[in-house]
Structure 1
Amino acid sequence: MRMVIFGLTVTSSWGNGHATLWRGLIGALAPLGWAISFFEHDTPYYAGARDIDRLNGGNIVLYADWENIRHEAEAAIREADVVIVTSYCPDAVDATRIANDSCRGLKVFYDLDTPVTLASIERGDHPAYFEPKGLRDFDLVLSYTGGPAIDTLRSILGARHVLPLYGHVDPDRHRPAQPRSEFAADLSYLGTYAEDRQAAVETLLVAPAARLPNRRFVIGGAQYPQDFPWSSNIYFVRHLPPADHPAFFSSSRLTLNVTREAMARQGWCPSGRLFEAAACGTAIISDEWAGLDSFFTPGEHTSAHRAAELDRILNDAFASMSRGTMEEAV
């Protein structure tokens, strides 16, 4: 079975949560019989912080310009059993139009940023990664967020068949590791800077650091501004490649999870960092949101489990198509 993915990035985890998720999912889908190609627009900011140049279980197609890759994309779509277009893919609309014209299999949209998508719609800002008519042309829509967001994707964006496909962690890559002195922390936080997380980060990490000058605090991430309220006992790691995440978490007595405002408001949207830290055996402090207490049954959220879930969803959709209907897989 052939799958073609048009996504944001799989080669760089800098400033995004997509790459690590795709690596785990693709690596776990390959043994199930999937041949996968991932089309990624080669952008300078990801090229400068590339974590991998080879994809376990799949093929990377890096391109500098969509017009130069269009014919290759058209050929891949024609041969594919499944075409997946994702949120924040720079050429999502062009890929979707080609899929509408020539895809013989399933057309799938995977929104890995559903709360951001819905918040944009509420503000009257149409996301650039799908057409104004919404998601009605896709056979299946997958959402990184569950709960009420599923119904909203149907009612507002016209998605016909929607299912959640949550985050996950690869336990072969994220497990307890040897602590490292540069990551040693009484409290750590790993996350890209975001204005809508800043108040919580200041409350839950910066303020405690000021009250506890003899304790060590560590922040890892990207895009932190110069005016961030650093103190002498808050240490910073600018970009932490996924290979270093286990050592980072394993070097912390506690680690902090702070959810972006749109995600917390929607609920049912666990970040990959939650699963990574849990897989490394690190105690987590988290802000609260609807559904949080439903995601921590041991062993459930591995990449292999999520790949098996996606494989079942797609095969159920194929069966529905062969019957001439698209009954929602449950």
Structure 2
Amino acid sequence: MKIAFYGSSLLSSYWNGAATYYRGILSAMAKRGYEITFYEPDAFGRQQNRDIDPPEWVRSVVYDADEASLRRVLAEAADADIVVKANGVGVFDKELLEGVIAQARPDAIKIYWDVDAAATLDEMREDADHPVRKALPHLDMVLTYGGGPPVIGDYEGFGAKQCVPIYNALDPATHHPVPPEPAFACDLAFLANRLPDREARVEEFFLRPAAALPERSFLIGGNGWHDKGMPANVRDIGHVGTRQHNAFNCTPKAVLNVARDSMARIGFSPATRVFEAAGAAACLITDAWEGIELFLKPDEEVLVARDGQDVAEHMANLTEGRARAIGQAALARVLAEHTYELRGVEVDEVLRAARAKSQVTA
């Protein structure tokens, strides 16, 4: 089956945390026989900061962020058996959603793929005319990269015919243990872009422990932190490309995950970096959120912190030996249960069921 996928960027992770998720899911689907075209706009400097060249398993279309180019790429939706609009493209999101519904063939499966479902649902509660609310009756399903039962219930409450979480996972060919790099040496490292709905939690879970442990070294990577006031023992290294993620995760004694406000509130939303860190056999400390035990076992495969004090206590007590043991246990767990190959099987089953249903009702 042919898929037309309209998303933020497959080629660049620059201000685009969904890149590795797209790559993992879609490459797994390509291996299962899907012919995929990924459409992404030339916007936000992403094409000037690519992590990868167009992979052989996808037809990559980069279009100018103007209305003529938008109309051109939307017209190609008519050639697809499955049409996907992902959230957060950043330009023409409303027009893309309306356009894929209008341009898709009547027998095509139409999907909204939400990689930030908790935030989207918050917006929908505040706006009765939200484009996604208006589009739901015309879509066959919503796929999300997290959220569990709360997100399923909320989306179906807004009228989604079907909502299925397809969680983040690990591509072991991409994220795996590598030798350490001195540039990333520290006690605790954190990697994420600076965003308004994460910043207060970063202050609590990362900067507060850093201030409490002045004898320890801390490292922060990601866009936007250059003018943030930080303790003297925190080093800011800016954007870290995906090619460097393995070394970033392997080198420190531990790495930190901090969820955005909405994801922490709803739970069941492990970030891509959770699996990337586990795949590199890193000792991961994560802020507490409901459902973590479905992915990694607390105290054995991951350390869980309720606040910055917990993070500081974990770091004060963490030995090199225990950090290695936690990282190795996490690696074994994700290889067994949380790979993109397994997620690809899940998506394939969902899509084939939808196709069979549409043929019966046609």
Q: Same fold (TM over 0.5)?
A: yes
Find the aligned partners of 2:184 and 2:349 in 1 and give their Cα distance: 40
Indicate if the aligned counterparts of 1:169 and 1:279 stay in contact, CA closer than 8 A: yes
Indicate if the aligned counterparts of 1:36 and 1:59 stay in contact, CA closer than 8 A: yes
Query: Following superposition of structure 1 onto structure 2, how do residues 175-324 of structure 1 map, counting pairs within 5 Å?
Result: 175-224=176-225, 226=227, 228-296=228-296, 297-298=333-334, 299-324=336-361
Residues 138 and 202 of structure 1: CA distance in aligned 2, closer, same or farther (over 3 Å): same
Is the counterpart of residue 116 in structure 1 residue 116 in structure 2? no
Residues 105 and 281 of structure 1: CA distance in aligned 2, closer, same or farther (over 3 Å): same
Find the aligned partners of 1:57 and 1:163 in 2 and give their Cα distance: 25
Corresponding residue of 2:329: none
Corresponding residue of 1:99: 100
Find the aligned partners of 1:165 and 1:311 in 2 and give their Cα distance: 11
Find the aligned partners of 1:245 and 1:194 in 2 and give their Cα distance: 20
Find the aligned partners of 2:4 and 2:149 in 1 and give their Cα distance: 28
Query: Following superposition of structure 1 onto structure 2, how do residues 24-43 of structure 1 map, counting pairs within 5 Å?
Result: 24-43=24-43
Find the aligned partners of 1:43 and 1:295 in 2 and give their Cα distance: 34
Indicate if the aligned counterparts of 2:39 and 2:73 stay in contact, CA closer than 8 A: no
How far off its partner does 1:153 sit? 0.6
Find the aligned partners of 1:287 and 1:220 in 2 and give their Cα distance: 18
Residues 131 and 173 of structure 1: CA distance in aligned 2, closer, same or farther (over 3 Å): closer
Query: Following superposition of structure 1 onto structure 2, how do residues 16-55 of structure 1 map, counting pairs within 5 Å?
Result: 16-55=16-55
> Which one-letter code corresponds to 2:237 in the other structure?
V
Find the aligned partners of 1:56 and 1:185 in 2 and give their Cα distance: 37
- Where does structure 2 lack aligned partners over 5 or more consecutive residues? 297-332
Partner of 2:45: helix, strand, or coil?
helix
Greater CA drift, 237-246 or 289-298: 289-298
Indicate if the aligned counterparts of 1:142 and 1:162 stay in contact, CA closer than 8 A: yes
Corresponding residue of 2:299: none
After superposition, give the CA deviation of every residue in 1:50-101 in whole Å (9 maximum; x if it has no partner): 2223134101111112423523431x22221111111113334333434333
Find the aligned partners of 1:125 and 1:188 in 2 and give their Cα distance: 41
How far off its partner does 1:110 sit? 0.6
TM-score by length of 2: 0.83
Residues 289 and 236 of structure 1: CA distance in aligned 2, closer, same or farther (over 3 Å): same
Indicate if the aligned counterparts of 1:134 and 1:159 stay in contact, CA closer than 8 A: no
After superposition, give the CA deviation of every residue in 1:160-205 in whole Å (9 maximum; x if it has no partner): 1111111122111111111000101110101111233333322332
Corresponding residue of 1:146: 148
After superposition, give the CA deviation of every residue in 1:228-277 in whole Å (9 maximum; x if it has no partner): 22233211121111111010000011111111111111111111011111
Find the aligned partners of 1:97 and 1:262 in 2 and give their Cα distance: 26
Indicate if the aligned counterparts of 2:192 and 2:223 stay in contact, CA closer than 8 A: yes
> Which one-letter code corresponds to 1:276 in the other structure?
E
Find the aligned partners of 1:252 and 1:78 in 2 and give their Cα distance: 49
| Residue-pair matches, total | 320
> Which one-letter code corresponds to 1:77 in the other structure?
A
> Which one-letter code corresponds to 1:302 in the other structure?
T
After superposition, give the CA deviation of every residue in 1:281-306 in whole Å (9 maximum; x if it has no partner): 11111111111111134322211111
How far off its partner does 1:210 sit? 2.5
Corresponding residue of 1:6: 6
> Which one-letter code corresponds to 1:200 in the other structure?
R
Runs (4+) of structure 1 moved beyond 4 Å? none
Residues 218 and 199 of structure 1: CA distance in aligned 2, closer, same or farther (over 3 Å): same
Query: Aligned residues: percent identity?
Result: 32
Greater CA drift, 1-10 or 297-306: 297-306
TM-score by length of 1: 0.91
Name the structure with the higher helix share.
2
Greater CA drift, 245-254 or 139-148: 139-148
Greater CA drift, 266-275 or 288-297: 288-297
Find the aligned partners of 2:134 and 2:208 in 1 and give their Cα distance: 46
Query: Following superposition of structure 1 onto structure 2, how do residues 116-135 of structure 1 map, counting pairs within 5 Å?
Result: 116-124=119-127, 130-131=131-132, 133-135=134-136
Residues 229 and 56 of structure 1: CA distance in aligned 2, closer, same or farther (over 3 Å): farther
How far off its partner does 1:6 sit? 0.6
Partner of 1:110: helix, strand, or coil?
strand
